[in-house]
A and B are shown apart, each in its own frame.
Chain A
Amino acid sequence: DMKVTQMPRYLIKRMGENVLLECGQDMSHETMYWYRQDPGLGLQLIYISYDVDSNSEGDIPKGYRVSRKKREHFSLILDSAKTNQTSVYFCASSVIGAGGDEQYFGPGTRLTVL
């Protein structure tokens, strides 16, 4: 069963706290992504990971970092969260090569930073 999971689904944090969002996939996809979506905007790419320990910044990486130590697991870390990082975060994965831009998405994590 091809699946991308995200934990937690909902999270409330105070400004300045650290945040860890976790993503897993069971398809052995090499490439994984973190996006955020804000009202009135499309999904914006935060980071892309091409494989274990091979990560690249996306369009809006400031204030975020990522970790990928296993192919099936990709974490998004907010060190000292800010209120403007309140958003819905989506993780996705895809294969390399033909069809590599067909991405499989998780259900999203709704993060509120107070």
Chain B
Amino acid sequence: GDSVTQTEGQVTVSESKSLIINCTYSATSIAYPNLFWYVRYPGEGLQLLLKVITAGQKGSSRGFEATYNKETTSFHLQKASVQESDSAVYYCALSGGNMGYKLTFGTGTSLLVDP
């Protein structure tokens, strides 16, 4: 079936340093999945951070960016300079094809930014 893999369960980064959170996907039933990053701040629900539906394109929001790489089946999340307010759990997800609107999520990466 389709799946999303986030290898890091927890990441700690010092404020103003760069960040990369890894995401790879396997979409055996979907030729061109839509790819997402969702974020969950403490005490809140998940909220969409960015979405990319076309391979080769880059999405960006709030200083974060991710590029849809079909060759490496990756959608890594990057930020050049993190802030303490970026501390949250980040989820990579995919959808599309005959799954309709169903989202398949990765396990999430908890980001802690040290002030």
User: A101 contacts B45, CB within 8 Å?
Assistant: no
- CA separation between A20 and B24, bound complex, in Å? 36
User: B102 contacts A48, CB within 8 Å?
Assistant: yes
- CA separation between A6 and B43, bound complex, in Å? 12
Which residues of A lie under 8 Å from residue B106 when comparing CB positions? 42
Across the interface, name the chain B residue whose C-beta is closest to A9: B43
Does B44 reach chain A (CB closer than 8 Å)?
yes
User: B46 contacts A58, CB within 8 Å?
Assistant: no
**Minimum C-beta distance from B99 to chain A (A):** 9
Interface string of B13-53 (1 = CB under 8 A from A): 00000000000000000000010101010011111100100
User: A106 contacts B105, CB within 8 Å?
Assistant: no
User: B45 contacts A106, CB within 8 Å?
Assistant: yes
Which residues of B lie under 8 Å from residue A48 when comparing CB positions? 101-102
Which residues of A lie under 8 Å from residue B47 when comparing CB positions? 104-105
**Minimum C-beta distance from B29 to chain A (A):** 14
- Chain B residues with a Cβ closer than 8 Å to the other chain, count: 26
User: A107 contacts B108, CB within 8 Å?
Assistant: no
Does A103 reach chain B (CB closer than 8 Å)?
yes
Q: Out of B9, B36, B102, which one reaches A45, CB within 8 Å? A: B102
Which residues of A lie under 8 Å from residue B40 when comparing CB positions? 105
- CA separation between A94 and B40, bound complex, in Å? 17
With A42-B91, A101-B95, A101-B96 known as contacts, the answer to whether A107 contacts B105 (CB < 8 A) is: no
| B45, B95, B105, B108 pick with most chain A CB within 10 angstroms | B45
- CA separation between A106 and B108, bound complex, in Å? 17
- CA separation between A103 and B91, bound complex, in Å? 13
Which residues of B lie under 8 Å from residue A104 when comparing CB positions? 45, 47
- CA separation between A77 and B77, bound complex, in Å? 36
Counting from the closest, the 8 A-B pairs by CB-CB distance are A42-B105, A105-B45, A101-B95, A105-B46, A43-B105, A101-B101, A107-B45, A100-B101
Show the binding face of A for B, using Cβ within 8 Å: 4, 6, 31, 40-43, 45, 48, 58, 90, 92, 94, 100-108
